[in-house]
Amino acid sequence: MQPDVLQNDIHSLVDELNFAQKVERSLGLIREAYEEYGDGLAVANSLGKDSVAVWHLAKCVSPDIRGFIITTRFKPEETVAFMNQEVSRYPELKVYQNDEPIPDRLYESDPDRCCDILKVLPIRHAIEDMNIKCWVTGLRCTEGRTRTDFLEIEERDKGLIKLNPILIWKEREIWQYLAINQVPVNPLYARGYRSLGCAPCTHITNDLDERAGRWIGTSKCGGECGIHTRPLITDYQI
């Protein structure tokens, strides 16, 4: 697959395409990638609203598409319960977690390192373990300041395609899709959360930025765990 739309054009599509056109575009991107990569394609499922929308879209393309979940010891109990529910419904979702010892409250003293150990290392392992050639994400370019520079089709790591099939969807369109298709969602949304992560680093806010409740009070505020910014094909060293 090759990137076919320039960055500026991508941003204009956020408003130019309607909901139904976006659904068709996303299905087409996943279908094309699945035809090319087959079992080498896997969907990353963070158990948030965007991920479950992408997972549902992928399952519309083929029930055989595989997925993986990166979880940590710090996920809220609601997310763990939702994860168990999803995995029992979809056994083709594989769960990865790094249980190695880390310093107490590392998420406060060095959240970048905490995310590297608990999130980036396991995704590197997942990519190798599942022999993934194309991973599919729920990234959207309107989520916040750190998510404006992505393309629908990328090759940030040589030999590993990253497909962002709902890049141009708005938050409202995600909820529209989930409601229309009656897709179950993480119960934390009913409590007011808009972006979900580990319990110590995720808060409810009324900020316009969807990701403003992530890592409040740290240098990572509103930022990224590293899964979308760090190299994913390495020798597993941080």
* Residues with Cβ within 8 Å of residue 197, at least 6 apart in sequence: 214, 225
Q: Is 200 in the site for ligand SF4 (CB under 6 A)?
A: yes
User: Does 228 contact ligand SF4 by CB under 6 A?
Assistant: no
Asked about 225 being catalytic, the answer comes back as yes
CB of 21 to ligand SF4, least distance (A): 34
* Separation CA 190–CA 82 (nearest Å): 13
Catalytic residue among 114, 115, 201, 225: 225
**Residue 74 binds ligand SF4 (CB under 6 A):** yes
Q: What is the dihedral of CA 164, 170, 173, 175, to 10 degrees?
A: 90
Region of residue 9 (left: phi > 0; alpha: psi -120 to 50; beta: else): alpha
DSSP code of residue 76: -
Distance separating the N- and C-terminal Cα atoms of the chain:
29
**Spatial contact of 166 and 50, defined as CB atoms under 8 Å apart:** yes
> Rule CB under 6 A: which of 157-196 touch ligand SF4?
none
198 binds ligand SF4, rule: CB under 6 A = yes
- Between residues 30 and 127, which has the closer beta carbon with respect to ligand SF4? 127
Nearer to ligand SF4, 107 or 177 (CB): 107
CB of 107 to ligand SF4, least distance (A): 4
Nearest to 204 by CA among 53, 76, 51: 76
In the complex, the smallest distance separating the C-beta of residue 98 from ligand SF4, rounded to whole angstroms, is 9
Is position 201 an interface residue for ligand SF4 (rule: CB under 6 A)? yes
User: Which spans of this chain sit near ligand SF4 (rule: CB under 6 A)?
Assistant: 72, 74, 107, 111, 114-115, 118-119, 197-198, 200-201, 225
| Catalytic center residues | 225
